[in-house]
Amino acid sequence: MSPAALSHSEQARRNFDIRALIGAASLCVLQVATSYGHGYEVAEVVAILVAKVVFNTWVDRWLISRIGGTPGERVRIAGNTLGLLLMGHLQAWPLALWLWLPFNAMITDENRARQAWLNLAFLVVVVDAVALMEGVSVALPLGFSALTGICYLLAQARQGFIESMLREREEQNAQLQQAHLEMEALHQRAVMQEKLSSLGLLSAGIAHEINNPMSYVTSNLKDLMADLPRLGTTPELLEEYRRDILPATLDGLRRVNSIVADLRRFARGDPESLVEYDLNEEIRAAARIAQSRFTHDRELRLELAQLPHLLGRPRQIAQVLVNLMINAAEAIGETGSVTVTTALDGERIRITVRDTGVGMDAVTLKNLFQPFFTTKQVGAGMGLGLAVAHGIVRAHGGTISVESEPGRGTCFTLSLAQFPPPNLPLGQPFPEERPAAHAASP
């Protein structure tokens, strides 16, 4: 397995094992060196060391899997104690041999045996006792036993410290996940509120849009009711109804139907999964909803290129576009125009919403994607539109940027991926990194 494929804990374990191995190898070399010049003794020491390595590997690979970690560790301690005693006996207890005691204390792993300190104490007591019985001066076992104790306490303290750090990290992780969930919920609410706010802003205009055709439809039908008795006898009147009045009435009803259908579509939530959609159709629907904000002197133009179908959440995209169109309509004041264009840009789709309005100053440009930032009067804007728009666009694997200059208008550019990355959460509440904003001529 490559190091990159290892988890952090596996990597740490492997690093620990490598260092323990280097430590053990150094002690072996030191021990062989202390017997330098005595060929027979060197052979004995090497034989014991090799036996120790084989024994430890056997315990690790075979015995522990059969009898469990704690009994296996005891067998290992017993075997190693025996090896140390044998070496001490054969070499007359040199300093290098005593170094094994603190070394064992340093690499003691609480996870391998719950009573690691007992195993270690057993090793120390047995080695000390046998060495003393063989006439070693008291200072040696005393000094190395004290060092072993200190090393053990330090190793344990370090392990405790690492464990508490890990616990803290886990808690922080859980808190972060909780915060993330709350942010997601907050975003869903913000999207809904923003949609309602747009509908609120548009409602007077939409009511007018519906009222207008409805008034002449009603008037035409009233006339029809009054003229019905005369229709069979007056062919000119019948012809007028066939040619003008009834088609106009039908057209009025169609307009009302399409406004109501667009509104229902807009207000409905998106499906859970991503769907294929026609971006140009969404732009046309958004334009019909925002149309009430435009009059003869305030024009909304669509210049839509032929596009492939996209994958995403069409209602959210329509929401972004309605928001951009309303903002643009407000920015142009009494006269001006807003032009929405689409274009295929390599593998991506570019949408621009350009207006000839008031433009933005540096402060607005810097803050416009911040939640609740608005330059509008209380009740006219919540300051959520662009923050939500940015979240939606980003969740579709897209970007949103803006160029603006005071007095010369604004141009928002959206770049959407045809297929959004599958694992991106659809709806990142509020942008952490701000999209590009330029104070330049659109």
Interface with ligand ADP includes 328 (CB under 6 A)?
yes
Minimum distance from CB of 1 to ligand ADP (Å)?
49
Minimum distance from CB of 399 to ligand ADP (Å)?
17
354 phi and psi, to 5 degrees? -115, 135
Interface with ligand ADP includes 357 (CB under 6 A)?
yes
| Distance separating alpha carbons of residues 43 and 120, to the nearest angstrom | 28
Interface with ligand ADP includes 364 (CB under 6 A)?
yes
Interface with ligand ADP includes 151 (CB under 6 A)?
no
Minimum distance from CB of 434 to ligand ADP (Å)?
13
Interface with ligand ADP includes 376 (CB under 6 A)?
yes
| Distance separating alpha carbons of residues 156 and 105, to the nearest angstrom | 9
- Each residue 284-323 as x (binds ligand ADP by CB under 6 A) or -, in order, gives ---------------------------------------x
Minimum distance from CB of 301 to ligand ADP (Å)?
15
Nearer to ligand ADP, 144 or 294 (CB): 294
Q: Which residues of 33-68 are buried (b: 16+ CB within 10 A; e: fewer)?
A: ebbeeeeebbebbeebbeebeebeeebeeebbeeee
Among 80, 148, 220, 327, binds ligand ADP (CB under 6 A): 327
Q: Comparing C-alpha atoms, which of 315, 429, 290 is closest to residue 372?
A: 429
Nearer to ligand ADP, 316 or 327 (CB): 327
Interface with ligand ADP includes 410 (CB under 6 A)?
yes
Minimum distance from CB of 332 to ligand ADP (Å)?
8
Interface with ligand ADP includes 431 (CB under 6 A)?
no
Minimum distance from CB of 288 to ligand ADP (Å)?
20
Minimum distance from CB of 387 to ligand ADP (Å)?
6
Minimum distance from CB of 364 to ligand ADP (Å)?
5
Nearer to ligand ADP, 52 or 293 (CB): 293
CB 291 within 8 A of CB 301: no
Among 117, 373, 419, 430, binds ligand ADP (CB under 6 A): 373
Among 102, 314, 385, 431, binds ligand ADP (CB under 6 A): 385
CB 48 within 8 A of CB 61: no
Sole window of 36-44, 79-87, 246-254, 383-391 interacting with ligand ADP (rule: CB under 6 A)? 383-391
Interface with ligand ADP includes 368 (CB under 6 A)?
yes
Count of CB atoms situated within 10 Å of the CB of 127: 26
Token pair in block for residue 169: 């990290």
Q: What is the dihedral of CA 287, 290, 291, 295, to 10 degrees?
A: -130
CB 33 within 8 A of CB 96: yes
Site size for ligand ADP, by CB under 6 A? 22
Interface with ligand ADP includes 360 (CB under 6 A)?
yes
Q: Comparing C-alpha atoms, which of 364, 422, 413 is closest to residue 393?
A: 413
Among 87, 127, 386, 414, binds ligand ADP (CB under 6 A): 386
Q: Which residues bind ligand ADP (CB under 6 A)?
A: 323, 327-328, 331, 355, 357-358, 360, 364, 368, 373-376, 381-387, 410
